Amino acid sequence: MRSLWLKAVSLICVLTLAGCSASPTGRNRVLLYDNSQMSALGAQSFEEIKKSEEVVTDKAIVSYVQCVTDAVTAEIPGHYGEEHWEVAVFKSEQVNAFALPGGHIGVYTGLIEVAETPDQLATVIGHEIAHVLAEHSNERLSRNQIVGVGTLAAAVAIGASDIEHKGATMAALGLGVQYGIVLPYGRAQESEADVMGLDLMASAGFEPQESVSLWQNMAKASGGSPPQFLSTHPSHNTRINQLESQMPKASGLRQQALANNKQPDCERPNL
């Protein structure tokens, strides 16, 4: 049993040291997957979503979302490597959007209704793209991988050989792990994506102050949000305060964009 525990701990150390890196804002994290693996997972997931959701074909709606997306993605630094981002609009009341590794973006019509201006839609699209650029999916999957080994090591270490006791141990560890590691896109990642996404949309010429209006709309649409400590997402007020603190830099980026004749002309259709 001791040898099994030592092997598990050794594997954790090897995985952690091999994939240790810093996030765009300097956070320490572990990335165990390469870009080709993440792109393949992103492409596969996107195809599955398109098969399970109703894809919007209305040209005005699709063109609008494509226009905003093209303006934002044009500001992605070249070293990130994605030259083309595939966009799909899904008919759903969900107030949501997502971006996947490999250059895939999905936007739900529920979000288009809540995002009242192209600038507000650009806020969300920039935010979701930032998750990809910051490799948050890779970070989440890597943590899950380490957690799978870690729970085995913990169970062996405390001598949980009886099935019932082992199950209780795993349940206890699982609860702690669930709120500490496994939940997708935790607060640090969400805040990171907010900052990066705001810079992207502002660099494209969109009005960054509209990001605050967006989250005010989101708060109204959600009818309030759960207490911050019960959610991986920052509360609406926390999010707004963080965006306001970044506004001087974002406003400067927009002024530079306007000086370079970057002013997206994306017409929001009637829904």
- State the catalytic residue, choosing from 128, 139, 190, 210: 128
Mean pLDDT computed over every residue of the chain: 76
Q: What are the pLDDT digits (tens) for 59-75?
A: 999 999 999 999 999 99
Q: How far apart are CA 253 and CA 110, in angstroms?
A: 29
> The whole model's pTM is what?
0.75
Residue 95 identity: V
Q: What are the pLDDT digits (tens) for 180-189?
A: 333 456 778 8
Which backbone phi and psi does 99 adopt, to 5 degrees? -135, 145
3-state secondary structure of 98: strand
CA angle, 25 as apex, 23 and 209 as ends, to 5°?
130
Q: What was the pLDDT predicted at 24? A: 64
State the CB neighbour count (10 A cutoff) for residue 222. 12
Q: How far apart are CA 226 and CA 234, in angstroms?
A: 10
Active-site residue, 135 included: no
Q: Is the pLDDT of residue 169 over 50?
A: no
